[in-house]
């Protein structure tokens, strides 16, 4: 082949290869969006979202198994309570312008305003209330809050199958707001068991079942928000806090873990709060319920002190080192174990019966758990010096006793009493602390049958002098079974005896 022909062939092949390559590049460019640059597969891998290296995310746990396991043991509680109320506003005045045998108090006097004379007859009301509870024993024992059943004349339990059964109170503990009741109909009932409230961690899922606003067996969920909450409800505050919805009517219902075990008893909410509810820990509830079941009441130790926390300001003012733990004694009550042991205000209790006191509120619980009559060591700081004293624990008066507190009523006796203050003593014309004032007597009650009247002053019970509510409680408990208590009473200028039948 001559040189001219070879030159034409190579020119033709070169042109063919050029056109072929141009077409390929054009087709690749045309297949991409006009506003994006061409990227290689390696470049594209750089803009892909990273793949998590850990386990894949899953949905929230279903609480259906918990509800299925527990719902049959949750009950609705309906109570009926009879109350007597006088008319609203100022009570009727005596028309007589001067004292009379029937009205020993002069017109416009303190007692004419305070007690009123003559009084309008009280009106009787029947109040209906709702609450929740749960069966924890096959024999039909139910736990609920004390405030759900306190003062109730009638208690009706509505089971999950809508069966209605009457119940009776076995025991109450106002200080922890717990009550134990029992179904009156014998049978084998579904029940749920206690879990360990100490093992529940903040953030764990919880389930509440109850009767809010009468909506029976309502289920709500949330988490444990906090533990060890002290909210001023009582001396033994140790609440679990949860954001599971708790509303009026939930009181006494169970707070369950995901195993269907009771870790708390729903008790209260903060008014106006959203997602702030409180429950009594199962650890405390189990202990209280066991005592109620065996004796019908809770006996607690008591030493007779008023305590408060040791704040940084108190540390500085007392010349203490930083971080001192314990309970500061603000007051030592008279004629108490604390006074007899030699405790003084300003002492800091650091240990009781070998148990260290961290937060000041721990002292109340430790003393309450100590057996009545037991003598123990109490370690204190006094003037920055360590001391150890011996103290014998006494019995704390139970709020469910016949009378307790500065002013208290007892449904069994039909009696409301008040300790006499200096002002009352002056107006009554009697020595201070000379007895208990009868403030109210319920018609047809035991006190009424005994002949007690409003404005009487109880001086003695079975020849034992009465000065305080504590004296009265102790004297009533000491009356032999089947015998009446002989009350010596001041009525106006006279003193009389009133036999009070306690049965």
CATH number, domain containing residue 423: 2.30.42.10
Mean pLDDT (whole number) for 293-309: 89
pLDDT at position 263 is 96
Name which of 479, 474, 421, 425 is nearest 450 in CA terms. Answer: 479
156 and 230 inside one domain: no
291 and 305 inside one domain: no
| Pair 355, 366: CB distance under 8 Å | yes
Mean pLDDT (whole number) for 122-137: 84
Mean pLDDT is lowest, of 383-387, 396-400, 461-465, for 396-400
Distance between CA atoms of residues 483 and 464, nearest Å: 16
Distance between CA atoms of residues 180 and 31, nearest Å: 79
Residue 192 makes CB contacts below 8 A (sequence gap 6+) with 69, 70, 73, 74, 134, 135, 136, 254, 256, 260, 261, 262
pLDDT at position 25 is 43
Q: What is the pLDDT of residues 240-270, one digit of tens each?
A: 999 998 888 889 999 999 999 999 999 988 7
Mean pLDDT (whole number) for 425-431: 65
Residue 494 has pLDDT above 50, yes or no: yes
Query: Annotated catalytic residue: which of 70, 147, 347, 351?
Result: 147
Mean pLDDT (whole number) for 35-57: 48
Say what the pTM is.
0.61
**DSSP output for 182-227:** EESS-S------B--TTSPPTT-EEEEEE-GGG-TTEEEEEEEEEE
Q: Is residue 4 part of a domain?
A: no
Residue 306 has pLDDT above 90, yes or no: no
305 and 276 inside one domain: no
pLDDT at position 429 is 65
Query: C-alpha distances in angstroms, 189 versus 71, 195, 255, 290, 414?
Result: 12, 19, 20, 19, 36
Name which of 93, 181, 89, 100 is nearest 133 in CA terms. Answer: 181
| Pair 178, 146: CB distance under 8 Å | yes
DSSP helix/strand/coil, 239: strand
179 and 74 inside one domain: yes
Residue 308 has pLDDT above 60, yes or no: yes
Mean pLDDT (whole number) for 46-67: 66
Residue 298: burial class (beta carbons within 10 Å; 0-12, 13-18, 19+): buried
Q: Is residue 39 part of a domain?
A: no
284 and 323 inside one domain: no
Whether omega for the bond prior to residue 102 falls within 30 degrees of 0, making it cis, is no
H-helix segments, 31-81? 41-45, 64-70
Name which of 382, 324, 331, 390 is nearest 357 in CA terms. Answer: 324
71 and 179 inside one domain: yes
Q: What is the pLDDT of residues 445-483, one digit of tens each?
A: 888 888 898 888 898 898 888 888 878 888 888 888 778
Distance between CA atoms of residues 154 and 473, nearest Å: 26
Q: How far apart are the first and last CA of the chain?
A: 142
Q: Identify whether 251 is a catalytic site residue.
A: yes
Q: Is residue 215 part of a domain?
A: yes
Q: Is residue 463 part of a domain?
A: yes
Domain boundary pick from 243, 276, 295 = 295
Distance between CA atoms of residues 462 and 480, nearest Å: 11
Q: Is residue 218 part of a domain?
A: yes
Mean pLDDT (whole number) for 187-193: 95
| Pair 179, 145: CB distance under 8 Å | yes
- CATH number of the domain enclosing 112: 2.40.10.10
Distance between CA atoms of residues 311 and 298, nearest Å: 32
148 and 243 inside one domain: no
Residue 412 has pLDDT above 80, yes or no: no
234 and 265 inside one domain: yes
Q: Is residue 18 part of a domain?
A: no
Number of domains in the chain: 4
Distance between CA atoms of residues 489 and 498, nearest Å: 7
Mean pLDDT is lowest, of 111-120, 216-225, 310-319, for 111-120
Query: Annotated catalytic residue: which of 132, 197, 225, 251?
Result: 251
Distance between CA atoms of residues 243 and 283, nearest Å: 20
363 and 327 inside one domain: yes
Domain boundary pick from 237, 265, 295 = 295
pLDDT at position 430 is 63
- Any idea what DSSP says for residue 59? P
Q: Is residue 43 part of a domain?
A: no
Residue 93 has pLDDT above 70, yes or no: no
Share of the chain above pLDDT 70, in %: 73
- What is the average pLDDT score of the chain? 79
Query: Annotated catalytic residue: which of 173, 177, 238, 456?
Result: 177
Q: Is residue 251 part of a domain?
A: yes
231 and 177 inside one domain: no
In the structure, what pLDDT confidence band is assigned to residue 146 with cuts at 50, 70 and 90? very high
77 and 169 inside one domain: yes
Domain boundary pick from 395, 415, 435 = 395
Q: What range does the domain containing 380 cover?
A: 301-395
Mean pLDDT (whole number) for 339-347: 92
Give 364 or 21, the one with higher predicted confidence: 364
Give 382 or 125, the one with higher predicted confidence: 382
Q: What are residue 419's DSSP bridge partners?
A: 436
Q: Identify whether 38 is a catalytic site residue.
A: no
357 and 454 inside one domain: no
Residue 224 has pLDDT above 90, yes or no: yes
pLDDT at position 253 is 94
């Amino acid at each position: 082949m001559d040189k001219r022909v070879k030159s034409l062939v190579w020119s033709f092949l070169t042109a063919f290869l050029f056109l072929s390559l141009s077409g390929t590049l054009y087709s690749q460019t045309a297949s991409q969006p006009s506003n994006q640059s061409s990227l290689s597969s390696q470049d594209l891998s750089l803009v892909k979202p990273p793949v998590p290296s850990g386990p894949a995310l899953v949905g929230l746990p279903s609480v259906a198994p918990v509800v299925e396991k527990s719902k049959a043991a949750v009950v609705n509680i309906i109570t009926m309570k009879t109350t007597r109320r006088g008319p609203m506003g100022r009570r009727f005045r005596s028309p007589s312008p001067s004292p009379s045998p029937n009205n020993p108090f002069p017109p416009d006097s303190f007692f004419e305003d305070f007690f009123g004379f003559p009084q309008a007859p009280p009106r009787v009301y029947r109040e209906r209330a709702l609450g929740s509870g749960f069966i924890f024993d096959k024999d039909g024992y139910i736990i609920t809050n004390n405030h759900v059943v306190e003062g109730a004349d009638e208690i009706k339990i509505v089971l999950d199958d809508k069966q209605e059964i009457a119940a009776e109170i076995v025991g109450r503990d106002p200080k922890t707001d717990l009550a134990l009741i029992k179904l009156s109909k014998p049978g084998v009932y579904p029940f749920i068991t206690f879990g360990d409230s100490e093992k529940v961690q903040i953030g764990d899922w919880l389930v509440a079942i109850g009767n809010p606003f009468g909506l029976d067996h309502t289920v709500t969920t949330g988490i444990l928000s906090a533990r060890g909450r002290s909210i001023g409800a009582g001396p033994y505050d140790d609440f679990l806090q949860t954001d599971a919805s708790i509303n009026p009517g939930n009181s006494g219902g169970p707070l369950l873990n995901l195993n269907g075990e009771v870790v708390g008893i729903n008790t209260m909410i903060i008014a106006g709060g959203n997602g702030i509810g409180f429950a009594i820990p199962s650890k405390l509830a189990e202990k209280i319920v066991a005592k109620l079941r065996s004796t019908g009441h809770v006996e607690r130790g008591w030493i007779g002190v008023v305590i408060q926390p040791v704040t940084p300001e108190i540390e500085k003012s007392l010349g203490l080192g930083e971080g001192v733990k314990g309970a500061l004694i603000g007051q030592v009550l008279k004629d108490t174990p604390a006074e007899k042991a030699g405790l003084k205000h300003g002492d800091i209790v650091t240990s009781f019966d070998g148990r260290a006191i961290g937060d000041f509120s721990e002292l109340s619980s430790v003393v309450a758990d100590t057996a009545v009559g037991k003598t123990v060591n109490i370690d204190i700081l006094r003037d920055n010096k360590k001391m150890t004293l011996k103290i014998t624990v006494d019995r704390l008066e139970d709020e469910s006793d016949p009378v307790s507190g500065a002013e208290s009523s007892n449904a069994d006796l039909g009696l409301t009493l008040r300790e006499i203050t200096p002002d009352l003593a002056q107006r009554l014309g009697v020595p201070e602390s000379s007895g208990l004032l009868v403030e109210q007597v319920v018609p047809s009650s035991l006190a009424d049958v005994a002949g007690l009247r409003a404005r009487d002053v109880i001086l003695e019970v079975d020849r034992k002098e009465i000065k305080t509510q504590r004296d009265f409680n102790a004297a009533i408990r000491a009356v032999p079974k089947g015998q009446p208590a002989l009350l010596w009473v001041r009525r106006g200028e006279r003193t009389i005896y009133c036999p009070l039948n306690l049965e």
